[in-house]
Amino acid sequence: MHRRTFLQLAGAGATSGFLTTPLLAQGASDRVLIVSEMNANSLDTHTVGANRAAYGLVWMTYDRLITFGTKTLANGVKSYDYTKLEPQLAESWEFAADNMSVTFKLRRDATFHDGTPVRAQDVKWSFDRFVKVGGFPQRQMEQGSLSSTDQFEVVDDHTFRVKFLRPDKLTMPSLAIVVPSVYNSELCKKNATASDPWALDWTKNNSAGSGAFKVESFKSSEQVVLARFDGWKGGKLPAIQRAMYRNVAAAGTRRALVEKRDADISPDLPPREIADIEASKKLKVQASPMANTLKYLALSTIIKPFDDVRVRQAIAYAIPYQKVLDSAVFGRAQPMFGAKSDTPSDASWPQPFPYSYDPDKAKALLKDAGLASGFETKLFFDAQVATTDEPAALVIQDELGKLGIKIGIEKLPDFPARRNQKAWPMAIDVFGAWFDDPDFFFRWIWHGQNAVWNLSSYKSAEMDKLLDAARQERDGAAYASLVKQFVKLAMTDVPVIPLFQPILEVVTQPDISGYTYMFHRQVDATTLVRG
Amino acid sequence: MAPVFSTIVTRLALRLPALIGVVLVSFALTRLLPGDPAVYFAGAAPTPEAIADLRRVLLLDQPLYVQFLSYVRDLVHGNLGRSLATGQPVVQDLSSRLPATLELTLAAMTLALLIAVPLGIAGARHKGRPVDHVCRLVSTGALALPAFFTGLLLVFLFYYLLGLAPAPLGRLAPMAFPPPERTGFMIVDAALARDWSVLADAVAHLVLPAVALAMAAIGPLTRVTRGAMLGVLSSDFIRAARGYDLPRWKLVYVYALRNAMLPVLTTIGFVFSFLISANVVIEKVFSWPGIGSYALEALVASDYAAVQGFVLAVATLYVLINIAIDILYGIVDVRVRLGG
């Protein structure tokens, strides 16, 4: 309430065109200040509990063997390109004739921040590390079939081989994500102890990489100052010399800071504020759909009456999608409804489902299922994202009420911890996958392995067969055909009804260009250009 | 000095059960709260195995009494555990952040006293006259404004509109170099380092949050000062003193005020405790790197060690403040004997 009052006042101030005196932003063409709600809590993603901001930080302070290319989205915003793998510390790589290993040639001129040359032994040590330290790094790399130290082999100082456990198309992209960063092994070993052989306690507060930026100062969760590493060989030298990432908890304060030009970038303002900022046209808003991420309504296939596919389809026709979109995120997301045909025309993902708001169809389907007079059920959502999910839940409750379906709304503070109980008839949830392959996303939500994200407890022999085949398939056309089949199945069975694909909107000063959407969703200062 | 010292020791010993209670309650409460740290920290798309790994590391798979015993064992060794959110030992987090909170709270308290006490005295001396109405208006007004709102309003007015205040980005300008740390109090450290530009910067950053926080304290302090002064001014000994024709200022500020100080001191104790909790929101608005904003983030993340550490630190602070107030009682009022 109070915050809103302030923002209205703030909005009024902005439109009155008050002259503002910048403190920091001006006159410092090689610096940027980025303010966000979350700041890195560790300098190393291998440490327990490293947060998402730490992924973005490690992305800049360390290098990988390979990295993702870039592309330009339809709206002109740049984005990483999952389909393009480019050299970073490796200058080239070659697959073995039997396709069961890949050999990387390392660049000879790359050095760590302390001047030590990067060698294959460092890569080996770093890769062994993510296998051995357990927790998130190990589990994440397992997804790409990289789970044994025997897979990593030093051929010579500048040649490194990765043996494959099985054909898996996630193995190569896995090498370009944040986890398999290359650490300065000699430096780390010097700081290792008997109880901490991988020097995790040390790398939590110290950086040992060869990345584009060096850590100048680090206050966990509070602020990080990065200085450009002028000897960087992992890509084009950044235009920015110093980047400061600063935690500012209140969204109102973040907005005031960018509007006053005291901060350059705010990557996580709420949709409402973004709408105001865009209307005032003084700042740039760079929007990109969150790759492979969906907000959806899950219907439990093991709880009556949603075990009946007709009831699930009825719900899919009864949801006023546009209204949900407008009330939850002020229309600032990609619609996922209203596809013309119930057969996917391409293998893209996420793609709109062939449902749109049609109460008559919903009524007919319910009548078919013998539920013409409606029923009672419950809808659950996560209290931590109540700002978007609560309005969505209310709209759904209201609309289904017209069909005689009485919904009790349950807002859970411990929603994430209770996902695995699979006890919710209806639930609003969000899922984002690390890899862009459609089958990777599907594996978590629709596969019979019943991962924690499969809130519908959906199980279908046909779906499992298609997904297992897709995981192994390397041929592009055959893969696309499999994708179309399992997407169609998901559309017909609708255990999960997509509500929308969230978008990431980053507010920047007008003189800042080069912003590139990354899969880790943090602002990458390497790409930024000022003026 | 010896009796004062022994008083402190006995008082501390007397408060020990309270602290033990705090340890128990904070442990139980964090476990009762919804939320699962293992799920929260397992990353963006946690697998059940990753969550189980974390549970093992955090001892969450152990029965509660085992968790409690290990917590107490660590506590005895001065180890409050490690915060998951910041990745640092909680003791280190708290000790690096506590000075920021104390600096802000003390500044707000001083400011509030400078306004509230004279205002309360003036109100009492001129009861029913315009100055008394001003006194009542200020105290009620200040009480009616929630700290969060005052904070945002001040930012809006003095930073956003007028451009008089620096950006609400903590204790110093973003790219400024902090003075070498000696006390942790930015203003003191800057003065010790004779770095006047940093001192000015630190003061400029302190003003708005301190004013916002002081607003929360002005209300009760003004009311209590006024009430106590009214009582004392109409008492027999003051009337007698008046009869002796003592100077007016001596009458009011020495004899009357000293006697009216007791309830004011009690209120200061209350208000100080209250300010530490009000800090939580003020720190959020001004990105102030204190223990309040730290606790808030820890609570959201179910960061048990950090929350327990915060509760314990604040409880200890309360105990210390109470002891200090007790000792001040004795100094202000000879009837309250030390150690009595």
Contact: B85, A50; criterion CB under 8 Å: no
A297 and A402 co-located in one domain: yes
A442 and A307 co-located in one domain: yes
Report chain A's C-alpha Rg in angstroms. 25
Last residue of a domain, one of A198, A220, A236: A198
Condensed to tens digits (0 to 9), the pLDDT of residues B65-89 reads 888 888 888 888 878 887 877 777 8
User: Could you say which residues from 183 to 212 on chain A have a Cβ atom under 8 Å away from some Cβ of chain B?
Assistant: 204-205
Contact: A23, B297; criterion CB under 8 Å: no
A361 and A465 co-located in one domain: yes
Nearest residue in A to B54, CA atom: A135
Among A30-34, A237-241, B302-306, B307-311, the least confident range: B302-306
User: How much is the pLDDT for A14?
Assistant: 36
Last residue of a domain, one of A139, A170, A198: A198
Domains of chain B with CATH codes: 98-292 (1.10.3720.10)
Q: How far is CA A69 from CA A4, A173, A245, B27, in A?
A: 41, 11, 24, 49
User: How much is the pLDDT for B211?
Assistant: 92
Of A13, A47, A135, the CB nearest to B160: A13
Task: Please state the ipTM of this predicted complex.
Answer: 0.74
Tens digits of pLDDT across chain A (531 residues): 344 444 444 433 333 333 333 344 444 678 899 999 888 889 999 987 788 899 999 999 999 999 999 999 988 999 999 989 999 999 999 999 998 999 999 999 999 999 999 999 999 999 999 999 877 788 889 888 999 999 999 999 999 999 999 888 889 999 999 999 999 999 999 999 888 899 998 999 999 999 999 999 998 888 899 999 999 999 999 999 999 999 888 888 899 999 988 899 999 898 889 999 999 889 999 999 998 899 999 999 999 899 999 999 999 999 999 999 999 999 999 999 999 988 998 999 999 999 999 999 999 999 999 998 889 999 999 887 888 899 999 999 999 999 999 999 998 877 877 787 888 999 999 998 878 889 989 988 999 888 888 999 999 999 999 999 998 887 889 999 999 999 999 999 999 999 999 999 999 999 999 999 999 989 999 999 988
Contact: B174, A13; criterion CB under 8 Å: no
A524 and A495 co-located in one domain: no
Does residue A221 belong to any structural domain of this protein? yes
Does residue A380 belong to any structural domain of this protein? yes
A105 and A187 co-located in one domain: yes
How far is the C-alpha of A41 from the C-alpha of A43, rounded, in Å?
Answer: 7
CATH for A442: 3.10.105.10
Element (H, E) at A202: helix A200-205
Does residue A68 belong to any structural domain of this protein? no
- Looking at per-residue pLDDT, the higher value among A85 and B131 belongs to A85
A482 and A337 co-located in one domain: yes
The closest of A502, A146, A490 to A334, measured between CA atoms, is: A502
A498 and A515 co-located in one domain: no
Does residue A325 belong to any structural domain of this protein? yes
Work out how many domains chain A is built from and give that number. Answer: 3
Contact: A136, B289; criterion CB under 8 Å: no
Which chain B residues are within 8 Å of A249, Cβ to Cβ? 284, 287, 293, 296-297
Does residue A187 belong to any structural domain of this protein? yes
A452 and A528 co-located in one domain: no
Measured in angstroms, the CA of B95 and the nearest CA of chain A are apart by 14
How far is the C-alpha of A151 from the C-alpha of A262, rounded, in Å?
Answer: 49
Does residue A184 belong to any structural domain of this protein? yes
- The mean pLDDT value for B301-320 works out to 84
User: How much is the pLDDT for A27?
Assistant: 45
Which chain A residues are within 8 Å of B54, Cβ to Cβ? 48-49, 135
User: Could you say which residues from 88 to 107 on chain B have a Cβ atom under 8 Å away from some Cβ of chain A?
Assistant: 88, 93
| Structure token pair of residue A93 | 């790589």
Which residues share a beta bridge with A92? A105
Q: How far is CA A235 from CA A53, A107, A174, A512, A513, in A?
A: 22, 12, 19, 20, 18
Q: Tell me the residue range of the domain where A95 lies.
A: 83-198
Chain-centroid distance, C-alpha A124: 27
A102 and A242 co-located in one domain: no
Last residue of a domain, one of A168, A198, A228: A198
Condensed to tens digits (0 to 9), the pLDDT of residues B228-277 reads 988 888 888 888 888 888 888 888 888 888 888 888 888 888 888 888 88
| A48 Cβ under 8 Å from any chain B Cβ | yes
Does residue A78 belong to any structural domain of this protein? no
A498 and A521 co-located in one domain: no
CATH for A12: 3.40.190.10
A381 and A397 co-located in one domain: yes
CATH for A150: 3.90.76.10
pTM for the model stands at 0.81
A269 and A347 co-located in one domain: no
How far is the C-alpha of A262 from the C-alpha of A34, rounded, in Å?
Answer: 10
